[in-house]
Every structure is written in structure tokens, then in C-alpha cells.
Chain A
């Protein structure tokens, strides 16, 4: 009788652990890892509300497209092969369809893996960040009364405000410059969608692209809560105060001595 098939395959599996095969497996995995790494889109996309940080989002999204199905405005799209986005992962293009910021966030509710963090209030979403990327073509910078992005913003006055500046070309008018407050902006893209130019001057970039990062060493004296904290360690020790006082007293004594000298 031949041994059961299970044993044959198990023995075959152990026999396959030859150095040559292990090397093949390592080489194959390396190529695999490389291809997988390359298949991530180079430019991070605009993600659904509540999405984890881009790398955590790409890892935890199971690519089931349930958020896409749940979106009542067909804002969310599935990236298929050749779209230039990470394949199968949801994204949106605000110039085509922006996010209308449903208060009940059906997309987040649909997510089975919590790649879209549950119970994220829509006004705290960071789908991206609006940036007025093209000041040369923005009508407001030309002195025209446009403000369409400002009025389209669902958080008008909070996420996009207007800043008045003198119009130096005419010398007597004002420029109404739209200014994004990055703390309030959710990246919904209503501004980019509404921009009247042929190509939008205000665009929603991914948060990773749009945000700078301040070094830890900066302290701003004009901000009340920006005092040097008790655990701040200065790189050089400051001079000891008693020594200063001694020195000061010595100088004052000398000045007293000098005061006794009559002027010529």
C-alpha cells in the first residue's frame, strides 16, 4: 500500500527546503516586494473621510469598495489598473465630484476594517487640504471679485476666509484674497470643484503633500502658550546668577568710590 497522500505532500514540502529552493524563494520574495512597493502610486491621493494616515490606510484597506458603494454622490471611485492610483483603493477627484460631507458619513459606516476610522466627525475629516496653488491665474489676485471658492466652501469663513489687501495696480481698490485655514479645511474639494477657471487655481492636495512641518526647536515668544517649558534644556549653560550679582556689586562699589572724586 502506498502511504496516504497527505504524508507524501508533507514529505515533499520538507524535501523542498533545499538551499537552492530557499534561495529561489528569497529571490522571488524580493522581486515580489519590489513590484508591490512600485505598485503604490507615487503621489498620495485624496482619500475618503476618516482615512488613517496614508501608509496605514494602504495597509488596512481590504479594497472591498463598500465605501464607494455607500457614497450617495458617487464621489468615491475605485482605482482600477491603469488609473495611475493604487489599484482597488478608494479615492476621489474633487474637480469631477467633490465630497458633500454627509453628517452621517455612510462611507465610514460601510468600512469593515476601520481603515476609515469609525466615528470620525465629518468636520474633522482630513481628506486632503485645499491650497491656492496658482496665484498667477487666480481671479482674486487679478483684482476681480470672484470669491467663488470662498462661497462654495461648506465651512465658509472658517476653512476659507477672505483677506483684504490693497490693489496696487489701481491704487484705490482692494483684492479679496481667499485664504485657507488648514486647521478647519476637511479637503472636501467643493472649492476646487467650483473654481471658475478652466483648470482650478485652488486644488485639494493630499495632506502629506500640502503640509510642512515645523522643527521642534521653535518657540514663538508672541504666543502665550509657547513659553519655554520647564524640561527645556539649553544647549549651553547660562552664567550663574550669584557671580553676576557679585560682579554688579563690585562695579557699584567702584562707582561709589568714583563718586568721591571731585571733578576738575
Chain B
């Protein structure tokens, strides 16, 4: 049971990641209409449109006029992640996340032996540069620049429409994360992650921190995919993890032996998923 309680959010995330893939697969092959399309744009129950707002931005940068359906879909998705935490997409939906999580999990075990434990660092602003540069590159080439090369879209497409050469992109990211970059693709390069980081700077649902309970054991920092965002001094002042880089993956919530973390809206309000005693 203890293993379950320190991993229940992780299991929930793997379930939503797999569930989204399965629903898209069933939509494409069995014409089950729960989710049709893919992560770029889709419809829920063949009615509610969804769309990747960053992809829509790139298409708009090419100068094309788009239909209202995709604009509404992008607004819905943007609104959803604005409420639930920008990079929630990365932790709960993106199919690349399990790949990079696996690499991050394997790295210390292989890394010690092969001397790549620390890894190469890329300046954290690089992914924002890639995110912004995608727009002029889209305007110049006349196609949505990141979407044409996106390993996220490629992974998703290959998993649904049969594995092809695109899985090489996934393998590339895995090797990059395992042996070269740390933080890897997701934290250093991915422009979609950067986009959702921007959304996350203002998003409502955040991980709240209770300094009274914390004994600075550091378990949360060890499991966090973006460990630089957990800074006890700042969290004691602000009361929550105040960073757009937070994925709301909830690993810190479940591993904390003293339940110092819980989900709550950014501005006051009652704790969500807090322990029975409630926060002081």
C-alpha cells in the first residue's frame, strides 16, 4: 500500500497519457467518437473542438486565415491549461513524457558507470528562443515550422497510424536525455513546453507548500523533473511553487513524508487533495 500511495499520482498520469492515446487510436481505427483527431487538433464526442494553441499560432504566422472551429478549439485548450497549470499538458498528456521520464530514471543507474551523471546543460532560455523563432521561420517557409518537425506530433502519429521512421525521433530524444542533456528535451529544448511554461506563470492550480510541515528532507527535490524550481526560501514566502516550469506532475505531493504539498488555487482558497487535518 505504501508504494501505491507514493505513486498514485504517477499511476494516474500514466493512465491519462495512455488513455488519451488509446482513445485516439480507437477513434482512428474503430471510429469510436470519444476523441477523434490527434494532439494538434481534435473533437471530443465529435462536437467539442480542441486544438494546440501553439500550432495555431504558427499557422497564423504563415499568414493563413483559419476556420473558427480550430480557433475555438485553441481557446478551449488554452483556457483549460490556464486553469489546471500550463505544463500539466507535459505531465499528464504528452506522449514524450514517459520516454524522458524513463531516461531520467535510468540515467543515475547507467550514468554513474558511464560518467554522464551530470550531463550537458543548455541555457534555460534556449527553449523560449526556439518557441519565438518558430514564428518567423513559419512566416518564411510558409508552413508551421515546429509542427513539421515536432517529435511530439510524430510520436503520437506513429503510435496511432503504425510505427515508421518517426519513432527514430523518439529514440533520439531518449538517447539525448539519457546520455547528453540534463534536463533533457522537455526542460531544455521543447518549444511547446516553453509555451505552456508561459501559460503556467499565471495558471490557477498550483502546488501549495506548507512550511510548518516541511522538515527539508529533500525527497521532493530528488523526484522533481525540474528540481531547480523547489526553493524552500521562496516557497516559505510565497506559499507555493511559483514557477511556470512546474508540471503539476504531483510527484512531490506523493513522496513527501510529511504531506507538506497539496494542490490549491494560486489565490488562497481551500486546499485540493490536502490531508484530512486541513492546512493551518
Q: Which residues of A contact B (CB under 8 A)?
A: 1-2, 4-6, 9, 12-13, 16, 25, 28-29, 32-33, 35-37, 39-40, 55-56, 58-60, 62-66, 68-70, 78, 80-83, 87-88, 110-114, 118
Contact = CB atoms under 8 A, between A and B. Distances in A.
Contact of B153 (A32, A63, A69): A63
B212 interface: no
Contacts of B242: 4-6
Contacts of A63: 38, 40, 147, 153, 157
Nearest to A111: B67
Contact of A39 (B36, B124, B148, B164): B148
A78 B36 CA distance: 14
B64 A36 contact: no
Contacts of A59: 59, 62-64, 142-144
B165 A64 contact: no
Interface stretch (B8-16, B48-56, B178-186, B253-261): B48-56
A36 B133 contact: no
17 contacts: A5-B231, A5-B234, A5-B242, A9-B124, A32-B137, A36-B137, A60-B62, A62-B51, A62-B52, A63-B153, A64-B41, A64-B51, A65-B37, A78-B161, A80-B165, A83-B164, A114-B65
**Interface core residue of A5, A12, A35 (most chain B CB under 10 Å):** A5
Contacts of B66: 60, 113-114
A111 B67 CA distance: 9
A257 B166 CA distance: 95
Contact of B164 (A6, A36, A82): A82
B148 A36 contact: yes
A80 B231 CA distance: 43
B234 A4 contact: yes
B27 to A, nearest CB: 6
Given A60-B65, A81-B165, 7 more contacts: A4-B238, A5-B229, A16-B123, A36-B143, A62-B51, A62-B55, A63-B153
